[in-house]
A and B are shown apart, each in its own frame.
Chain A
Amino acid sequence: MTETAADTTRTGGVVPTALEAAVTTTDHLRIGRAWLASGALLLVASLVAGLLVSVERMDLTGMAVFGDVDSLFRFWSAYRVGLVLLVVVPVFVGLATAVVPLQVGASSIVFPRAAALGFWVWALGAAFTVAGFVIDGGLGTPGAVSRTDALALTLLGLLMVIGGICCATVCILTTIVAGRTAGMNLSRVPLFAWSVLVAGSIWLVTLPVLAANTVLIYVDLTGRSAVAFGVEDTIWGQLSWAFSHPQVYAFALPLVGIAGDIVPVAARRRHGNHRALLVLTALIGVLSFGAYAQAAFDIGTPIREQAIFVVEAFLIVPLVLLVLVGLVDVLRRGVGSRRTRMPAPLYLSVLSVLFLLDGTVLGALRAVAPLDLLDRSTTGAQFTFTIGAALLAAMAGTLWWGDLIVGRVVPQGFGLASALAVAVGIVLIAVPDTISGFMGLADFTGGDLVGAGNPGSGVDVLNTVALVGSAHLLVGALGWLVTGVLRLRGARSLADPWGGHTLEWSTSPVEVTSESPLLDATVEAGA
């Protein structure tokens, strides 16, 4: 796969320099790579923040690393915001920008200049957001000690991040809807493209709500005196819905598509029921609409104790379970015809669905009022499982489609080892946090034992395990980054290294005539 000629030479015959080409590109593969690289770098930064918070949690009675609760809160919130809006969503957007046009048989992403605009707005917004957190801003602190201009910078950076993501999402969704090749009707698109269509639709109806919250906060904050929304210690409460159940599922949803595309090719068997998976993905998407769960605007019964929240939390579990069952069924049916050596992305993608299932189960448990888990560390565990699952799927996706996106190969073993380090990290953080939650540990531990919720004994040991998990995550992320660098220096790749038969692997124009285009050729060969 190569960049388009129009992109490598400017009209007029002058060959652009590498920098010029990178800055002015409208090629979807290059833009996709830019999203992926930026996401990987910001992943490392976010995980460093997470690691420092984990170190601080080792001593619940005082402050060892940060000196004060406000700094701890700043890093704690930066970790969550960073992982979601600066890492997971951008990486999925990058994968989709690069792969989806090929999957639906489009020659390019639709509105390529707008897609590039989306990336640059996001990238500059991400820089402002990070700068805001670093210069004593962030999204408010319990002690209300932040600099107002730094707070404003973070909020405006966040608005740019949201704007960039929405702009890119519109381009991707338009490509899926209006850019499909002949015969490729919407029910025939590969599962990744479909999951992006569903997830993107949910992002487009929820991220603007987050923007509305942010604008209200910004306007109030920069007035002569904050009336309600801009009062510093309330800011995080107004935005936190975007980083917890059920909204996090919407951000992780493309993982269903990644697994759905990898498993049948690896097992050399088509899905038992492609349409059922489309419906399941759509249902999970609808149930992950989380903009309504704004606890900061509770009047009367808190929203997280209302029926709609509880029902949603429980309904999503069987749906994810059914997806997992569907994938396992494909693997089971493919036992006879499977390759001798299974590709690394297969393990990772199945594991990611399993982690998502864990996340949804924890989400359901949190909704059980007598367990009183809503503000406990179980919330963090649920976040880790869900966003970790998305991260793992993104790593699987980059290993699977990396040859296509970069045009060069990478040792799969190294990529697998990095991703497994991440997987181990997720388990080592989420499982202890789940148990700690039952023992009373607060989600944000604060600066003393009271702030930490006076948890039972044994929490220290669990926090130590979680710290090891954070270190694992960071090592895995660094490994992922190195995998990317190694790929840039790798040998030229084959056109279709996996024997996949969705359109992205095709080297010539294709017209789809089959009702189930996925894997047709493989089924014939393997059956």
Chain B
Amino acid sequence: MLTTGFKLWFGSCAAALSAAVFAGYTSGGTETGPISLGWKGGVGNHVTYVLFVTAAAVFGLLGIIAIAFRDADSESVAEVLGVDTAPPAQTQVGSSIWPVLGALGVATLVIGLVVSSALFVVGLLVLVAVSLEWTMNNWSERATGDPEVNRELRERLLRPIEIPILALVGIGVLVLAMSRVLLASSVNGAVLVAGVVGVCVFGAAFLFSRRPNIPRRVVSTVLIVSCVAVLAAGIVAAATGEREFHQQGGGSGGDHVEVGE
């Protein structure tokens, strides 16, 4: 018996093919062109014809899959598995950071296409990292029937890789951002910025160590806000550009001593 999904998609396929042939004949196609996919003669309006034929192929593919799988009806799935009731199509997966990080990767890639190729590469790397993490998450969720064991498995496998990489990337990005700020500032300004930032970091670390009861939320908020501020300052400084450097001495091997504004 033909399934509903097959009827929907195969019907759409037939309609698209008919439309292609009709459009072909009514837009200047030759006698045999529209019915031979252009092999024997012209098909008329190429845009119309090719798009309808492609749509027909796609609908045909979906129709074939629908009938091959009996519309993936619960009963047919249970029969395939040899059980009375088919398992749920989707198990609970809990919250996940990877979708939003993946989207941020795409966004970085897009900004990179408009602004700089370095950002494009960063976006690409983020996407690769997210894909790997996503895959390992999926793998660990299917490892055993115990979610707690699965979580431990995942952490044991990935944490030794994630933590050093994240630390390296985090430190690298912050150092890069700070360097942009220092290079954009005047000579005295750079000294001042370095001093103030150093005092802030030291002061915050001192405060946190003296008061271990400070809530985790406050500590994480301070850290996140500080990192975002340094990043933003780095982006602004990078956009502004470096201050002018005057070379003292000459020759390629000479010492470079900068003198600022």
Q: Which residues of A pack against B, CB within 8 Å?
A: 4-7, 10-12, 16-17, 20-21, 23-26, 106-114, 116-117, 119-121, 123-125, 128, 149, 152-153, 156-157, 159-160, 163-164, 175, 177-187, 197-198, 201, 205, 209, 222, 278, 282, 285-286, 289, 291-292, 294, 297, 299-301, 303, 306-308, 311
Minimal Cβ-Cβ distance residue in B for A106: B89
Minimal Cβ-Cβ distance residue in A for B130: A117
What distance in Å separates the Cβ of A210 from its nearest Cβ neighbour in chain B?
12
Q: Is the CB of B99 within 8 A of A289?
A: no
Bound: A205/B115 CA distance, A: 31
Bound: A106/B88 CA distance, A: 7
B161 located at the interface, meaning its Cβ lies under 8 Å from any Cβ of chain A in the complex = no
Minimal Cβ-Cβ distance residue in A for B86: A182
Q: Is the CB of A177 within 8 A of B102?
A: no
Q: Is the CB of A157 within 8 A of B110?
A: yes
Q: Is the CB of B96 within 8 A of A116?
A: yes
The interface bits of chain B over 105-119 (1 if a CB of A lies within 8 angstroms of the residue's CB, else 0) are 011001001110000
CB-based closest 9 A-B pairs: A120-B103, A186-B4, A179-B89, A116-B99, A307-B26, A24-B95, A117-B99, A6-B94, A308-B23
Minimal Cβ-Cβ distance residue in A for B66: A177
Bound: A78/B217 CA distance, A: 41
The residue in A5, A116, A125, A197 that gathers the most chain B C-beta atoms within 10 A of its C-beta is: A116
Q: Is the CB of B93 within 8 A of A201?
A: no
With beta carbons under 8 angstroms apart, the residue of B28, B114, B148 that contacts A153 is B114
Which of B48-56, B173-181, B187-195 participates in binding chain A?
Answer: B48-56
Q: Which residues of B contact A112 (CB under 8 A)?
A: 90, 93
Q: Is the CB of A300 within 8 A of B28?
A: yes
Bound: A6/B148 CA distance, A: 13
Q: For window 202-225 of chain B, which residues contact chain A by CB distance below 8 Å?
A: 217
With beta carbons under 8 angstroms apart, the residue of A113, A175, A222 that contacts B96 is A113
Q: Is the CB of B114 within 8 A of A24?
A: no
Minimal Cβ-Cβ distance residue in B for A308: B23
B186 located at the interface, meaning its Cβ lies under 8 Å from any Cβ of chain A in the complex = no
Q: Is the CB of A201 within 8 A of B45?
A: no
8 pairs across A/B with beta carbons < 8 Å?
A5-B92, A10-B94, A121-B103, A153-B114, A178-B89, A286-B11, A292-B23, A301-B28
Q: Which residues of A contact B106 (CB under 8 A)?
A: 121, 124, 160, 163
What distance in Å separates the Cβ of A292 from its nearest Cβ neighbour in chain B?
4
Q: Is the CB of B94 within 8 A of A308?
A: no
11 other contacts beyond A182-B86, A286-B15, with CB at 8 A cut-off?
A23-B97, A24-B96, A107-B88, A116-B96, A120-B103, A121-B103, A124-B107, A182-B74, A186-B4, A201-B9, A306-B26
Q: Is the CB of A26 within 8 A of B9?
A: no
Q: Is the CB of A113 within 8 A of B88?
A: no
Bound: A397/B78 CA distance, A: 34
Q: Is the CB of B23 within 8 A of A25?
A: no
Q: Which residues of B contact A10 (CB under 8 A)?
A: 94-95
Q: Which residues of B contact A182 (CB under 8 A)?
A: 74-75, 78, 85-86
Minimal Cβ-Cβ distance residue in B for A107: B88
